[in-house]
Structure 1
Amino acid sequence: MAFEVTYTDCSAETYQEIRAIIALWNEKSPEYRVKTSGSTGTPKSILLKREQLEASAKRSNAFFGLNEHSRVLMPLSPHTIGGKMMLIRALVGNYSIHVVEPRANPLEEIDHKSRFSFISLVPYQVKSILEETPDSLNRFDCILLGGMGLSLELEKTLSDLSPQIYIGFGMTETVSHIALRKMNNPVYEALEGVELDISEGSLVVTDSKLGIERMQTNDQVKLIDSKHFEWLGRADFVINSGGLKIHPENIEQLIADQIEVPFIIGGIPHETLGEACVLIIEEALPEAQFEQLKALIREKFGKYAAPKQQVIASILKTENGKIRRKETLKALFK
């Protein structure tokens, strides 16, 4: 089976973007311009080299066992690094890829008899699929989840499925994932060629395959060794309350399955604590439920991590469903 692209219910924009990526690849362009997701700040345009994209694609194909006999389903926007790399992996690996228009549940339009070797999804898609067509996930040999935002409860639910499920760690600058962890295992393992270090609590990445030398990230981690780490949160998202560093992402993971509307944990100025944790949410929770959540957070992370109040505000997101935390806080406290 050679490289081919088939489509289900795709918009003209998605189709045209995919054709443009394929054409650029076949022309052997030496550089490719991509945009960062915007989840940690204003999206920016960066250049990636063809050899970086090819090396990343070969490494991922080898890890997931994808070859000319594979069939992959692509439900991600081709405008994102995740979507682009799914397509480039298929080009490099010479296998077929079936494209479906990105939406909350991209599997509802797919023939229920179809089986695939691989799919990459973002957390909001997984949540929608589990609510609407959970059995459809068993049609895949392997599932890669990108982005952060999986609740502990969601991970437990996914662990009951038959596919192998991995969660990726990476960014546009590292040409998608450079480390993976298995479901219900908090430890990420670096891929071949990747060496990890730490500086001031934040992860430093060296990748011989991609020509990356000591790239400083804003990701705070517990470094186990040069190949393994536990992710704690973004350094620029840390809330300093009562002299303690609180990672809002950990709190959000704990309570995500108990809140149905978009929310984040944020920090606001406080006269004595420096910053105080608050629950920023699109619709207020009943007071009794809010008190239960505070007790749960207090038990797990201590009294300073429990939100002092609820703040009603719109939660801004990227097209892939990632929360734009900085923009949300900036708009709220402007």
Structure 2
Amino acid sequence: MEEPWLEIHPDFKLNGKPYTLSKLINVAEAMQFEGDKEEKILADFLLNWLYPKDTLLASTSGSTGSPKTITLDKSKMIASAKATGDYFNLYEGTTALHCLSANYIAGKMMMVRALYLGWHIDVVIPNKYPLSQTKKEYDFAAMVPLQLQHSIDELHRVKKVIVGGAPVSPVLEQELQSLSTALFATYGMTETITHIAIKKLNHRTDEEQKLNAYTALPNVSFTVDKHNCLVIDAPDVTSEKVITNDVVNLISESKFTWLGRADFVINSGGYKVHPEQVEQVLELVIDAPFFVASVPDSELGEKVVLIVEGKEDSFPEIDYVGLHSFQVPKKVFFIDEMIYTTTGKVNRNKTKEKLKL
């Protein structure tokens, strides 16, 4: 049986050094014993990838339900790597910055792309200042919004950057418009082996700006279920259709705009409120961590509320211009510190529990 994951592209380089299969295994084994936490995570992934078995285990983030461990087909991971290379024209000799933890699918796939496509990849600590750890220029990098936000002044050293893990706020998006770097928001999840749709964040045409839509990668198509949740058909990377928890406006079988998570939707007096849409407006006026949620209400069923990290007595009055009356929060709750997930996202339910809402 063919095992292409056991073949390292002859142009592959890790931190400036070329590797044979046996040498890379030896280095990964040494990292397991001598490396720091993130080096050990990367070493574990490399050894699992280079082991003669056609699948590996990966943890989901909960995008399609509760977090769980799933089995991924290595041949489909290679197909995903090839799709990224083809879409962004990133072939052998591409210089890439790896600044994501290999604990998650995005970090795993950066290494798979490098191994299979022949990239020259540099690994840095996956903190919020990735470009401060190197002075080199790169063709490509993948980041989360927090890393992007703290890399604005150095982004000119990277030609193309994909951003995932969370939505890019309107405030941050505004800062990206004058940058030379081509920036793209990605839509995907562990089940689809990272991104299966792309949206430009800058250098957009007027039509792209107006639509603000995600576009499918080749051989990917979309439908919606009865709740208007996105259904993904991507046979190259997953053997079954993926039914998501994301409510979308389906423009065509290859384009959609994202509205929010189905499990976050608030039914307030018969109006359906997507917290994420309200948050996009409030991002422009609230300079603190916050999120929009709901609490039970005898008249409305659920009423929209705002939860802000900070002190009430030092917080300025909030301007709700741009929101419909049914979207405007009826009450503001303040909390000293939000509760966050291991991936750095606000844990809405746990934070509400902390406030006893």
TM-score by length of 2: 0.84
Structure 1 residues 71-118: Cα deviation after superposition (integer angstroms, max 9, x where no partner):
10011111011111111111111212111111111211212xx11011
Pairs within 5 Å for 1:1-334: 2-6=11-15, 12-38=36-62, 42-111=66-135, 114-130=136-152, 134=153, 136-183=154-201, 185=209, 186-200=212-226, 201-284=228-311, 289-292=316-319, 295-296=320-321, 300-313=322-335, 314-333=337-356
Report if the CA contact (8 A) 2:63-2:245 is conserved: no
Compute the displacement of 1:327 (Å): 3.4
Larger radius of gyration: 2
Secondary structure at the aligned position of 2:155 is classed as helix
Compute the displacement of 1:321 (Å): 2.2
Once residues 267 and 174 of structure 2 are traced to their aligned partners in structure 1, the CA distance between those partners, rounded to angstroms, is 30
Once residues 223 and 122 of structure 1 are traced to their aligned partners in structure 2, the CA distance between those partners, rounded to angstroms, is 25
2:25 counterpart residue number: none
CA 1:275–1:287 in 2, change beyond 3 Å: closer, same or farther?
Answer: farther
Structure 1 residues 236-282: Cα deviation after superposition (integer angstroms, max 9, x where no partner):
11111121111111111222243332211111111111111111112
**5+ residue gaps in structure 1?**
none
Once residues 25 and 159 of structure 1 are traced to their aligned partners in structure 2, the CA distance between those partners, rounded to angstroms, is 38
Aligned identity (percent) is 35
Once residues 39 and 284 of structure 1 are traced to their aligned partners in structure 2, the CA distance between those partners, rounded to angstroms, is 32
Question: Which amino acid is the alignment partner of residue 300 of structure 2?
Answer: L
Q: Over aligned residue pairs, what C-alpha RMSD do you find?
A: 2.2
Structure 1 residues 120-146: Cα deviation after superposition (integer angstroms, max 9, x where no partner):
11111122223xxx1x10111101010
Report if the CA contact (8 A) 1:205-1:212 is conserved: no
CA 1:209–1:254 in 2, change beyond 3 Å: closer, same or farther?
Answer: same
Compute the displacement of 1:288 (Å): 7.6
CA 1:288–1:116 in 2, change beyond 3 Å: closer, same or farther?
Answer: closer
Once residues 51 and 178 of structure 2 are traced to their aligned partners in structure 1, the CA distance between those partners, rounded to angstroms, is 44
Once residues 71 and 118 of structure 1 are traced to their aligned partners in structure 2, the CA distance between those partners, rounded to angstroms, is 7
CA 1:288–1:110 in 2, change beyond 3 Å: closer, same or farther?
Answer: closer
Report if the CA contact (8 A) 1:39-1:324 is conserved: no
Structure 1 stretches of 4+ moved >4 Å: 38-42, 285-288
CA 1:174–1:331 in 2, change beyond 3 Å: closer, same or farther?
Answer: farther
Question: Between Structure 1 and Structure 2, how many residues are aligned?
Answer: 321
The higher-RCO structure (CA 8 Å, 6+ apart) is 1
TM-score by length of 1: 0.89
**5+ residue gaps in structure 2?**
1-9, 17-33, 203-208
